[in-house]
């Protein structure tokens, strides 16, 4: 039985991949997974099977759950040497590569009610990798503006060097890896593909081993929840910054609350597997305040969000990421896999909850969310690095109730940050058309103010899919290369 699906993603090829699997009988989970796989081929500067995945899923008529497929640092990581080398983690390179979680995350999502086979869901992505994809505006811009990243690594240079928007590029090694995953996804962690990847990582200087890959599992857990805008909202728990989104959602003074939540997150977010995390503090349920902590490297490129809801009420919002543009700046040539640099988010402070230690998962910016009311299911997610909580909080009310959710994603937005948005000092970055009162509030918070010339990547790439009163709608942010459709 064919079911209609609302799907939004930051590249048309991803939506077309979803269209193909829906036509073959897939549901929202199949569509989202096919789109996510296609994005690892056509948007390699933002996501890869060498990255991580966090999702929130609601099976039709069921209770939402969170999927955390966040990879850990190598057991053999030399923490002491990194502390001697500097006060911060490297921005990229082999020591920032943690175990990739995307493939295990796909498997966990599929297990929640996907209908089709791995071969069906990955077929569009394999075709794009083997037959060729067209360089999008976003990919072409990244190759053009970050030649230092692309040309410095032989693997990246061989595939992407010199490409321009409109060119066609093929990735035969990646096609072979995706084909192997379609046959048996576990090969990525415990089979031939994992052994090849581990050997390639070792050659690149990474301490990750076959044992590190084999130890990875995706975590299915209860999401954090909050009530706002007449809906129940769901977000992933730590090491995701989902608590920060829920802390600011529905705030009457969103900018001031976001600044408080930003400071709390930078001080408190870490991996609950390696030590206690103060979730109440992240949710701003305590009166405690924190001193500013300098933000880490700017996550240009960052992430992709995919949102899907079907007519049966199955909903998924997933985000997968290589963190910075082209991640660690490494493409392992034997497998064709771009590696993420999520390890750059670790703190080298031994007292910080997000401290680097063997087997620890880094603090994560990925912040997908779902909302439920009596007759509405909303899947919401965005690219936007550390600013995802306040980006989503600005979009949430209209995404939930506006007759056309595209009005929610096109409206001007603001973000706050420092190095993560390209400034040395903490700054409020405004798109044109926002109220003057925001600048006045920023002054009271000690923030510099900058207004961009127009809509800007730093304001995020929001994706929306919704079922409301029996009607499916979707919207994709015009700041990206994407599209949305009801399939």
Which pLDDT score is estimated for 299?
A: 44
If you average pLDDT over every residue of the chain, what do you get?
94
In tens, the pLDDT along 209-218 reads 999 999 999 9
C-alpha span between 157 and 163 (Å, rounded): 10
Q: Which two tokens stand for residue 413?
A: 């937005």
For residues 92 and 167, what is the distance between their CA atoms, to the nearest angstrom?
27
Residue 422: count of CB within 10 angstroms of its CB = 13
Cis-peptide, bond into residue 364, ω within 30° of zero: no
What ranges do the domains of the chain cover? 5-221+297-391+460-486
**Residue ranges in the chain modelled with pLDDT below 70:** 291-302
SS3 of residue 438 by DSSP: helix
* Contacts of residue 1, Cβ cutoff 8 Å, sequence gap at least 6: 25
* Cα Rg of the chain, angstroms: 20
Q: What is the pLDDT of residue 298?
A: 47
d(CA 254, CA 235): 18
In the prediction, which pLDDT does 258 show? Answer: 95
407/405 Cα distance (integer angstroms): 5
- Tens digit of each residue's pLDDT (9 = 90 or more) over 78-133: 999 999 998 889 999 999 999 999 999 999 999 999 999 999 999 999 999 999 99
CA angle in degrees (0–180, nearest 5) for 23-56-366? 110
DSSP line for 281-348: HHTT-S----------S--SEEEEEEEEEETTS-EEEEEEEEEETTTTTEEETTTTEEEP-GGGG-B-
Q: Annotated catalytic sites, by residue?
A: 303
Place of tokens 């705030």: 251
Predicted local distance difference test score (pLDDT) of residue 2: 81
The whole-number pLDDT of residue 115 equals 97
> 5-221+297-391+460-486 in CATH: which number?
3.60.20.40
**68 in helix, strand or coil?**
strand
pLDDT at 418: 81
* Predicted local distance difference test score (pLDDT) of residue 301: 47
pTM attached to this predicted model: 0.96
Backbone conformation region of residue 82, classed left if phi is above 0, alpha if psi is from -120 to 50, else beta: alpha
> Over the range 340-351, which residues count as b (16 or more CB within 10 Å of their CB) and which as e?
bbbbbbbbbeee
First to last CA, the chain: 14
pLDDT of residue 421: 76
């Amino acid at each position: 039985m064919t079911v209609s699906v609302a799907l939004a993603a930051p590249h048309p090829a991803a939506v077309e991949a979803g269209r193909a699997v829906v036509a073959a009988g897939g549901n929202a989970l199949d569509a989202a997974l096919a789109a996510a796989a296609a994005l690892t081929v056509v948007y390699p500067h933002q996501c890869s099977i060498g990255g991580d995945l966090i999702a929130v899923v609601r099976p039709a008529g069921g209770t939402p759950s969170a999927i955390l497929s966040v990879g850990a640092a190598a057991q053999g990581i030399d923490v002491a040497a990194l502390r001697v080398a500097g006060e911060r983690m490297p921005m990229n390179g082999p020591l920032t590569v943690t175990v990739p979680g995307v493939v295990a995350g796909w498997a966990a999502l599929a297990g929640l009610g996907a209908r089709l086979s791995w071969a069906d869901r990955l077929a569009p992505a394999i075709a794009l990798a083997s037959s060729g994809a067209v360089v999008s505006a976003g990919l072409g811009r990244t190759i053009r503006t970050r030649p230092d990243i692309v040309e410095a690594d032989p693997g990246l240079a061989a595939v992407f060097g010199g490409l321009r928007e409109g060119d066609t590029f093929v990735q035969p090694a990646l096609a072979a890896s995706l084909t192997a995953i379609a046959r048996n996804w576990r090969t990525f962690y415990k089979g031939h593909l994992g052994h090849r990847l581990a050997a390639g990582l070792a050659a690149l200087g990474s301490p990750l081993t076959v044992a590190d890959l084999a130890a990875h599992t995706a975590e299915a857990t209860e999401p954090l929840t909050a009530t706002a805008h007449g809906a129940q909202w769901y977000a992933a728990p730590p090491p995701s910054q989902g608590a920060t989104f829920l802390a600011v959602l529905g705030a009457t003074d969103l900018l001031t609350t976001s600044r408080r939540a930003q400071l709390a997150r930078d001080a408190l977010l870490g991996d609950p597997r390696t030590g206690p995390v103060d979730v109440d503090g992240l949710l701003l349920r305590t009166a405690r305040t924190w001193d500013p902590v300098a933000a880490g490297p700017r996550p240009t490129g960052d992430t992709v969000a995919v949102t899907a809801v079907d007519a049966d009420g199955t909903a998924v919002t997933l985000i997968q990421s290589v963190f910075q543009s082209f991640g660690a700046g490494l493409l392992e040539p034997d497998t064709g896999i771009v590696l993420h640099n999520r390890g750059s988010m670790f703190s080298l402070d031994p007292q910080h909850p997000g401290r680097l230690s063997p087997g620890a998962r880094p603090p994560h910016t990925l912040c997908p969310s779902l909302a439920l009311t009596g007759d509405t299911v909303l899947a919401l997610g965005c690219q936007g690095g550390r600013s995802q909580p306040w980006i989503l909080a600005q979009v949430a009310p209209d995404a939930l109730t506006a007759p056309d959710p595209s009005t929610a994603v096109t409206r001007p937005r603001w973000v706050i940050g420092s190095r993560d948005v390209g400034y040395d000092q903490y700054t409020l970055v405004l798109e044109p058309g926002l109220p003057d009162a925001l600048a006045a509030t920023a002054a009271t918070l000690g923030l510099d103010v900058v207004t961009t010339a127009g809509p800007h990547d730093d304001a995020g790439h929001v994706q929306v899919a919704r079922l409301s009163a029996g009607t499916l709608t979707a919207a994709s942010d015009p700041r990206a290369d994407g599209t949305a459709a009801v399939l």
